[in-house]
Amino acid sequence: MEHFAERNIIAAIARQQARTAADLVRGIGDDCAVVRKAGGLVDLWTTDALVEGVHFDLAWHPPELLGRKAASVNISDIGAMGGRPRFALLALGLPAACPKEFLDKMVAGFLDVLAEHDMVLVGGDTVYAGERLLLSITVCGEMAEKQVCYRSAARPGDLVWVSGCLGNAACGLELCRQGWQGQEEYALLCRAHLDPQPQVRLGRMLAESGLIHAMMDISDGLATDLAHICQGSGVGAEIMAEEVPLAGELQKAAAALQLSTMQLALQGGEDYQLVFTSPAQNSGPLRNLSQEAGVDIACVGRIVAGAQVMLRQDGEWRDISFQGYEHRF
């Protein structure tokens, strides 16, 4: 049977969708759709779904944290464009055996994250979903049209930056699979998987600063998400392995699990950090901005002419384009 990659299915749908609208600024192909409204503002629309057994495992994912993660992964898309999240819709596909206590805790976690971002749940739906729990979330954000950060604006000569440390969530997932989530030394990594923190404040500050060209969040691993920026911008990228930020806890856990730290960082996904590009002369102001935001950033490479994401490791170059996580159907 022929299998299809997620990005190819999205591209095929985009080709079929030929209609547009006067107030549609950006449709399929970025972290959010962008719709123009009055006063120089735009609405940002994003949607995502989480399916039991694919995106989460209830054997180790507590309901409160599942609700938090469902909200956070969608809010992250708004932050990746530089926007302010405002409203959410929540659709629940519930299995027959779904205790009320579980549902109450999951919804409470979801609403807690919305409150942290001054958001409001404005509607949704509930349906019977057979044997698996399904959560589908739509989030609407808002920002100034002139400040929206797209994937498609990277330019040769830009430096490539990332926020935070990479690979923590992927390592946390494997720790949970091994039943090690209760060990204090791995708490940071397991939390990164169970309760990710979207970088909304940093995203807004970067967008408002005018210091950057392109930006998106890291949901499928740097290898894939940077490849999306390169594809959208018609450029290539070079990444230096030694510059990729790795937490000390990650290096210790990866050794215990006998996993590659670089593979976790570049291909693991679900970090919900930001990857963005900026002219080299903006490096100083960017570091000052990151200090103000309280979020570390690291320069991991540069944008070049071409079409591939190349990694330099141990003196050798290899193509890592789209080698992160990807659904296949």
27 or 146: which leads in pLDDT: 146
Q: 313, 118, 107, 319: which is closest to 227 by C-alpha? A: 319
Of residues 13 and 117, the one with the higher pLDDT is 117
Residue 8 pLDDT exceeds 90: no
Q: What is the pTM of this model?
A: 0.94
Residue 2 has pLDDT above 50, yes or no: no
> How far apart, in whole angstroms, are the C-alpha atoms of residue 250 and residue 120?
35
The counts of H helices and E strands in the chain are: 10, 13
Q: What pLDDT, on the 0 to 100 scale, is given for residue 329?
A: 45
Mean predicted lDDT score pLDDT of the chain:
94
What's the rounded mean pLDDT across residues 54-77?
Answer: 96
Residue 265 to residue 271: CA distance in whole angstroms:
9
Beta pairing partners, 278: 159
Task: Tell me which of 20-34, 110-124, 147-161, 287-301 is least confident.
Answer: 20-34
Token pair, residue 229, equals 């920026």
Cα gap 289→283, rounded to integer Å:
10
Pairing mode of beta strands 84-94, 120-128: parallel
Residue 325 pLDDT exceeds 80: no
**Cα gap 230→325, rounded to integer Å:** 17
- Which span out of 3-7, 32-36, 126-130, 321-325 was modeled with the highest average pLDDT? 32-36
| Per-residue pLDDT, 328 | 53
What is the average pLDDT across 174-179? 96
pLDDT band at 327 (very low <50, low <70, confident <90, very high): low
Taking only the tens place, the pLDDT of each residue in 192-207 is 999 999 999 999 999 9
Is 151-319 CATH 3.90.650.10?
yes
Residue 273 bridge partners (DSSP): 218
CB 207 within 8 A of CB 82: yes
CB–CB of 94/107 below 8 Å?
Answer: no
Q: Radius of gyration over alpha carbons of the chain, in Å?
A: 19
Sketch the domain layout of the chain as residue ranges. Answer: 6-146, 151-319
Which of the residue ranges 13-22, 42-51, 101-110, 307-316 would you say has the lowest mean pLDDT? 13-22
Tell me: the pLDDT tens digits for 244-296? 999 999 999 999 999 999 999 999 999 999 999 999 999 999 999 999 999 99
The pLDDT of residue 18 is above 60:
yes
Percent with pLDDT over 70 in the chain: 96
Cβ atoms of 199 and 31 closer than 8 Å: no
Look at residues 45, 197, 58 and name the one whose alpha carbon lies nearest to residue 134.
58
Roughly what angle, to the nearest 10 degrees, separates helices 248-257 and 168-177? 40
Give residues with Cβ within 8 angstroms of 156, minimum separation 6: 235, 303, 304, 305
The better pLDDT of the pair 170, 27 is held by: 170
Residue appearing with tokens 């095929």? 12
Question: Half-sphere exposure of 308 toward its Cβ, with a 13 Å CA cutoff?
Answer: 8
- The CATH architecture that domain 6-146 belongs to is 2-Layer Sandwich (3.30)
- pLDDT band of residue 16 (cuts 50, 70, 90) is confident
Model pLDDT, residue 326: 62
Residue range 214-225: mean pLDDT, rounded = 97
What integer pLDDT is reported at residue 1 of this predicted model? 40
**Amino acid identity, residue 102?**
F
- The count of residues in the chain is 329
Query: Would you call 126 helix, strand, or coil by DSSP?
Result: strand
